[in-house]
Amino acid sequence: MTSNLPQPKIAVVGYGSQGRAHALNLRESGFDVVVGLRAGGPTESKAKADGFVVKSPADAVKDADLVAVLTPDMVQKKLYNEVLAPNMKQGAVLLFAHGLNVHFGMIEPRADLDVVLVAPKGPGALVRREYEIGRGVPCIYAVYQDKSGKAEQYALAYAAGLGGARANIIKTTFKEETETDLFGEQAVLCGGASSLVQAGFETLVEAGYQPEIAYYEVLHELKLIVDLFYEGGITRMLEFISETAQYGDFVSGPRVIDASVKARMKDVLTDIQNGTFTKNWVAEYEAGLPNYKKWQQADKDHAIEKVGQQLRAKMVWLQANASQPDTDEQAAA
């Protein structure tokens, strides 16, 4: 904590995976934390069981020096306009973990507020687990509005409270965080990776190979490679695979992910930068998610999921280590 910064009273609005991790880590770092949730919501009992004072979002933010908005992106505009803006005290700090609503103008913060962003680079369960064992997940932070002249200090104090200072803290902007985060999810981490796995599975099965073998080769073993990436980048991955696998990497990787793929990645990035993706996502959400639900069900119904469910049932070690969904309490009005 910066010595000349008063200890802020924090209201964490939302208690999903990220909300719970933030609230627990901040409290154990010495902050006074209250949780804002709608009465009877699915995580109210969990927050109370963890020892937090739970209030309605409107009541939780009234006395808070810093309000952390940790609800899903698509409920934040309504939450801010109807609950936070009318009830936050003058000169408070409004904090987000993702900049989408502010960057694309769906939320226009009050002029008297400091507005900052602190984004741990990992899911909530990891943010909590790393803190508990004395380490931390790297955090990025940004300042959008600095009314008090201390907005950056508040962001750094919050990031440190999460455990980020134990790892690494990097300054960014709302624009950079939002656009790179969306691109990473769409082109590589979620959209790119799942589409690559599905296409690989289909290619092998259509060529007559057993679905079970195809599953192990293109999905199951992917974790082993990703772990090596995580530990030491592409260099470490190359150190731990065979020469045959390395040669195949060199000659076939660029055949699959070629210049045309990079060109389409640039198109994806352009749609993110110019607001097309966000406009379409807002329209989809407001229409009741018809395409979203259809596409989600299609992924769940894919043949790789059916064979994978059968194979994973035999991997007893997976059940004990299964990750929990990184969703957040929808604490709208």
Asked whether residue 312 is marked as a ligand-binding residue, the answer is no
Asked whether residue 3 is marked as a ligand-binding residue, the answer is no
Asked whether residue 305 is marked as a ligand-binding residue, the answer is no
Residue of 212, 236, 215 lying closest to 226 (CA atoms): 236
Query: Distance (Å, rounded) from C-alpha 119 to C-alpha 153?
Result: 15
Tokens of 291: 């395409």
Question: Within a 10 A sphere around the Cβ of 272, how many other Cβ atoms?
Answer: 21
Asked whether residue 212 is marked as a ligand-binding residue, the answer is no
Asked whether residue 38 is marked as a ligand-binding residue, the answer is yes
- Compute the half-sphere exposure of residue 92: CA atoms within 13 Å on the CB side of its CA: 23
Residue 260 phi, psi (nearest 5): -70, -35
Q: What is Dmax (Cα atoms) for the chain? A: 68
Is-catalytic flag, 103? no
Tokens of 121: 């680079």
Asked whether residue 154 is marked as a ligand-binding residue, the answer is no
Asked whether residue 128 is marked as a ligand-binding residue, the answer is no
Q: Check 98, 103, 220, 302 and give the catalytic one.
A: 98
Asked whether residue 131 is marked as a ligand-binding residue, the answer is no
Asked whether residue 16 is marked as a ligand-binding residue, the answer is yes
Residue of 133, 70, 75, 66 lying closest to 94 (CA atoms): 66
Binding-site residue positions for NADP(+): 15-18, 38, 43, 124
Binding-site residue positions for substrate: 242
Q: Report, as residue numbers or ranges, the catalytic residues.
A: 98
Binding-site residue positions: 15-18, 38, 43, 124, 181, 185, 217, 221, 242
